[in-house]
């Protein structure tokens, strides 16, 4: 089976990074450069989520139909068995009728994976499209969503990146959006500083107003490359969620880069690779003990256990 991964391009660069191992897999063609055109304003209007939330705007396929058709036709000519993989970011770039035509014309398999919660703003369009497209498999990265919707569970795979060399060290690292986490993050910051542990923390799009805490940077987003540099210099990564969110990238980064992890997400205990020696589950900031920073975990070196190559192996076993 050969696979075309339509990743979402500039709208979803992180997915490209997470799945970059597949660039070296002969079974996979990664297509990340989705729509390029000169009529940017009209294109954005035609694809606006506010316009497409309940019903897809008609004729969206005209933007890139010929180029996408050429990609699929070329791969179908080269490979007897072909599967096209979308995620919830990339799917809305396409017209459902075009995807259905590919299935009829070339006999392709179709797979969709949700890399956001089904209740998320970023999943709404793909959920609507999924009802009109005969997918062979639909996955969700969040186990509860997969169970409730009747989808398959999609383990959140991650391609290890090359970490930059840095002299900037810190004991604990977190950088991310507020999304209701600010109070807990600030409590963790205070707890770690009380223990004498250095903390590098940024809270973006802070909700609730001031007062800000000295030592925390507020409202300064970072690129993923900047985060990777920070991760390189960190001893412990901090993972704070609200509600029943899925496991975040911090868990996978901790495994891939040999970092310790502090998390308030009880689901980490059910994840593959969970190690109680290097991962501390907390319910409140006061649960953080100095021991997590001092102890030697003895964890085995990472050897690609989280690579998306394993998901392609799984698809092979189910679709061939």
- Across the chain, what does the average pLDDT equal? 88
* Closest by CA position to 316, among listed 71, 102, 85: 85
Is the pLDDT at 173 greater than 90? The verdict is yes
Give the pLDDT band (50/70/90) at residue 112.
very high
- Other CB atoms within a 10 A radius of the CB of residue 263 amount to 22
d(CA 247, CA 307): 16
At 238-265, the pLDDT tens digits run 999 887 666 789 999 999 999 999 999 9
Q: Which CATH number fits domain 170-294: 3.40.50.2000, 3.65.10.10, 3.40.1360.10, 2.40.50.70?
A: 3.40.50.2000
At 179-220, the pLDDT tens digits run 889 999 999 999 999 999 999 999 998 887 778 999 999 999
Torsion of CA 183, 186, 191, 197, to 10 degrees: 160
d(CA 130, CA 256): 33
The pLDDT of residue 11: 65
Q: 268-272 — which CB contacts under 8 Å span 24+ positions? A: 268/239, 271/247, 272/155, 272/305
The pLDDT of residue 120: 84
- Among 102-111, 127-136, 143-152, 237-246, the least confident range: 237-246
Is the pLDDT at 273 greater than 90? The verdict is no
Domain extents in the chain? 2-159+309-319, 170-294
At 6-56, the pLDDT tens digits run 988 766 778 889 999 999 999 999 998 765 544 456 555 555 656 566 666
pLDDT more than 90, % of the chain: 62
At 299-311, the pLDDT tens digits run 888 999 999 999 9
């Amino acid at each position: 089976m050969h696979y075309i991964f339509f990743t979402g391009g500039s709208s979803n660069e992180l997915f490209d990074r997470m799945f970059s191992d597949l660039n070296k897999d002969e079974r996979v063609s990664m297509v990340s450069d989705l729509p390029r055109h000169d009529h940017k304003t009209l294109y954005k209007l035609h694809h606006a989520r506010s316009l497409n939330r309940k019903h897809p705007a008609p004729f969206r396929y005209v933007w890139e139909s010929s180029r996408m058709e050429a990609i699929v036709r070329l791969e179908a000519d080269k490979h007897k068995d072909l599967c096209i993989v979308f995620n919830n970011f990339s799917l809305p770039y396409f017209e459902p009728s075009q995807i259905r035509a590919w299935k009829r014309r070339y006999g392709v398999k179709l797979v969709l994976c949700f890399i956001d919660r089904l209740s998320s703003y970023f999943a709404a369009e793909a959920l609507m499209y999924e009802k009109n497209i005969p997918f062979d498999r639909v996955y969700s990265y969040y186990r509860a969503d997969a169970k409730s919707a009747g989808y398959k569970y999609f383990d959140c795979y991650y391609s290890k990146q090359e970490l930059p060399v840095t002299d900037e060290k810190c004991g604990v690292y977190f950088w991310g959006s507020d999304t209701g986490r600010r109070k807990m993050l600030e409590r963790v910051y205070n707890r770690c500083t009380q223990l004498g542990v250095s903390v590098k923390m940024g809270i973006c799009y802070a909700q609730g107003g001031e007062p800000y805490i000295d030592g925390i940077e507020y409202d300064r987003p970072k690129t993923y490359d900047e985060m990777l540099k920070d991760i390189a210099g960190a001893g412990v990564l901090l993972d704070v969620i609200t509600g029943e969110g899925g496991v975040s990238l911090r868990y996978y980064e901790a495994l891939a880069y040999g970092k310790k992890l502090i998390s308030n997400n009880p689901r980490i205990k059910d994840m593959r690779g969970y190690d109680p020696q290097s991962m501390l589950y907390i319910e409140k900031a006061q649960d953080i003990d100095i021991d997590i920073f001092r102890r030697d975990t003895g964890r085995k070196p990472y050897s690609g256990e989280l690579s998306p190559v394993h998901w392609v192996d799984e698809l092979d076993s189910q679709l061939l």
